Amino acid sequence: MDWTRILTNVAGELFAPATAAYALAAIGLNVHFGMTGLINMGQAGFMLMGAYGFAIATMNGWPVWAAVLAGLIAAAIFAIILGIPTLQLRGDYLAIVTIAAAEIARYTVRSSSLTWLTGGNAGISGNDFKGSFQNLCPLPEGSWALGPFQYSNCLSNSWWLRIVGWSLVAIAVVLVWRWMKSPWGRVLKGIREDEDAVRSLGKNVYSYKMQALVLGGLFGALGGMIYVLPSAVQADALGRTLTFNVWTILLLGGAATVFGPVLGSLIMWAVLMLIKSVLRDMPWDVITSTQAEAFSWVLVGVTLMVLVIFRPQGILGDPKEVAIDGR
Amino acid sequence: MAASTLTRKEQIARDLAHVPHKPGSTKPDPIIVADHVTRRFGGMTAVDVHHLEIQRGAITALIGPNGAGKTTLFNLLTGFDRPNSGEWSFEGTPLSRMSAAKVARSGMVRTFQLTKALSRMTVLENMRLGATGQPGENMLTSLFPPAWKGREDDITEQALELLARFKLDTKKDDFAGSLSGGQRKLLEMARALMTNPTTVMLDEPMAGVNPALTQSLLGHIEGLRDEGMTVLFVEHDMHMVRHISDWVVVMAEGRVVAEGPPTTIMQDQAVVDAYLGAHHDTDLGDDSLLDDDVIDQLEEEAEAEEHSRAEDGE
């Protein structure tokens, strides 16, 4: 077994763009669930809005900033449409509506009648929308190696994308940290605990929940953009599985904590890569690489169950909070 | 202190002395005036109040047997439920169909029968949440601490004062979920006071409170009146009602059936009927009940009652 290569692979995951994308999406979900108690089962839908909004706007010749804005606005509109009917109802309804809406969005963009706009089933290939982002790259052309990690400076899965992705994560973490410590975050936390109590104190609960839904959706949209930039936009990559992975990350790291979503993303992708690489390198021939891939996902499912049963507060969560009966 | 307490109670008693002891009577200085408030759940009329006035600055108790519609009326007045018809005003401002949050902001704050302490927040955070006028509760302003730190310090000071008054100051850094039932009631009341209300609505403040705390809770409620607040509370415990209230409103089957001072209200025939039934003195083993004459007479009474109720409903 080639441990050097395995560990290099694992370490590479720790700063991969996809890891940053998941961290951003999980930060958004943390605003929904951890801070406000909204059960959003359709975070992939917000990521999809960001990814498609960005890609389609770019293809129509919009500059990067305008394309990013387009993705964010698409996600905000999605949030408002979901929120208007459901935020006045109890939590479970939002879960049902968000999972359905995310699926509706996915089926819509992959439908063949929209091929002219979204590329339908095939999606939007990378070369069609990456250009303007890559042109912004301040780094010289070519590629650069940091120890064993060699990536292109500007193209696709690049250093440039890593810098942007992780900078966004850093900004998001700082913002969420500020919000959590602020009176605004306190109102959200109160809503998470008991919205009628907060209402009885004269706060407009509906408006706060809407703000949280939109804000978390915006982080999800940014995550969606980073998620598609290394490769291509493909509707089926932005489906339920993505949502559940984001949930696993959030619960692993710890909901309602500042660094939980980032830590969860790092651990999840590093461990996943470790399991896959080790299984692939097994000297005896028990498992094919396809099976190894599937098996590592089985392990993710088991981890999620073990986590929720034995450490519901996640790695960074405060066990005291969980010890108290929520109601 | 004791002398001023007495005068305040006496003064209210004097103000209310000439108010007739009948449902819907007019008060000298009403803060809440409700008219023709009805709330139906399917075919059942939970609340059907023709006219009700609540005296400013007094402790008014709302009592009645189970299912009398007390909590429903409470929910309507505080915006937590929508009426089928009717309107009411608070300090002259119409409040009907206003959202619960707006009602609270207008100065009428409530507590809940099942205490709503925000369990996974500390006692102090619970208190701070009750405060009004915190600019940091705006999403964008909250990112700039200098914009709200000053107000936050004032809020914290107010919160600590209230916690000290309610003897919860030693618990300020504990999670609210770790408090006992009675302490949660105290916390909920203290939190409500953070909004600087003019009227406090308490839904069964004594439910689930251990007897040792009852006395201090009663003291706190009287304290609210002595500070000039209006208190309306729902209660089952007649002992408590007699002890602290200035005026009692009795509800049964959704309607106000009697009003009066606590000392005499329990002798009111309508109240006795509401709690015990009109024929509570009748011996069920009495053979004379089987006479046709008596049965006819009872049926007539029942019909007359139905009839008068139908007339009232118009």
Could you state, in order of their start, the residue ranges of all structural domains in chain B?
A: 2-117+179-281, 283-314
**What is the C-alpha separation between A314 and A319, in angstroms, rounded?**
9
Mean pLDDT across chain A, nearest whole number? 92
Q: Which of A43-47, B87-91, B215-219, B264-268 has the highest mean pLDDT?
A: A43-47
Q: Stretch A221-246: mean pLDDT, rounded?
A: 95
Lowest mean pLDDT segment, chosen from A3-17, B108-122, B259-273: B259-273
Q: pTM, whole model, 2 decimals?
A: 0.90
User: A326: which chain B residues are within 8 Å (Cβ-Cβ)?
Assistant: 119-120, 177
Residue predicted with more confidence, A320 or A146: A146
- What does the pLDDT read at residue A327? 38
Q: Can you tell me the mean pLDDT for A145-171?
A: 94
Residues of chain A in contact with residue B121, where contact means CB-CB under 8 angstroms, are: 186, 189-190, 193
Q: Which of A256, A260, A264 is nearest to A180 (CA)?
A: A256
**Is A186 within 8 Å of B132 when comparing Cβ atoms?**
no
- Tell me how far apart the alpha carbons of residues A306 and A322 are, in angstroms, rounded to a whole number: 16
Alpha-carbon gap: A77 to the closest alpha carbon of chain B (Å): 18
- Beta strand extents in B102-220 (DSSP E only): 108-110, 199-203
Residue B178: list chain A partners with CB under 8 A.
324
Instruction: Give CA–CA dist A317/B197, Å, rounded.
Output: 36
Q: Which pLDDT value is given to residue A318?
A: 82
Compute the nearest-CA separation of A218 from chain B (Å). 14
Q: What tokens appear for A151 in the block?
A: 């990536």
Q: Give the residue among B118, B116, B99, B119 at the shortest CA–CA distance from B108.
A: B99
Residue A190 and residue B111: Cβ atoms within 8 Å? no
Contact A183 B78 (CB under 8 A): no
CA distance B170 to A241: 48
pLDDT in tens, A47-106: 999 999 999 999 999 999 999 999 999 999 999 999 999 998 877 889 999 999 999 999
Assigned token pair, B228: 């000039």
The residue among A2, A14, A19 whose CA lies nearest residue A278 is: A2
**How far is B180 from chain A, CA to nearest CA, in Å?**
12
Residue B185: is it exposed, middle or buried by C-beta count within 10 angstroms (0-12/13-18/19+)? buried
Q: What is the distance in angstroms between the Cα of A192 and the nearest Cα belonging to chain B?
A: 9
Least confident among A59-68, A187-196, A204-213, B267-276? B267-276
Q: How confident is the model at residue B211 (pLDDT cuts 50, 70, 90)?
A: confident
Please report the residues numbered 202 through 261 in chain B whose beta carbons come closer than 8 angstroms to any beta carbon of chain A.
none
What is the CATH number that goes with domain A3-129+152-323?
Answer: 1.10.3470
Q: How far apart are CA A127 and CA A105, in angstroms?
A: 23
Please indicate if any CB of chain A lies within 8 Å of the CB of B80: yes
| Cβ-defined contact of B100 to A200 (cutoff 8 Å) | yes
Q: What does CATH list as the number for B2-117+179-281?
A: 3.40.50.300
Of A202, A215, A324, the CB nearest to B119: A324
- As given in the structure block, the two tokens for residue B74 are 């409470």
Show which of residues 158-177 on chain B sit within 8 Å of chain A, judged by CB atoms: 175, 177
Of B125, B141, B192, the CB nearest to A186: B125
pLDDT band at B302, cuts 50/70/90?
confident
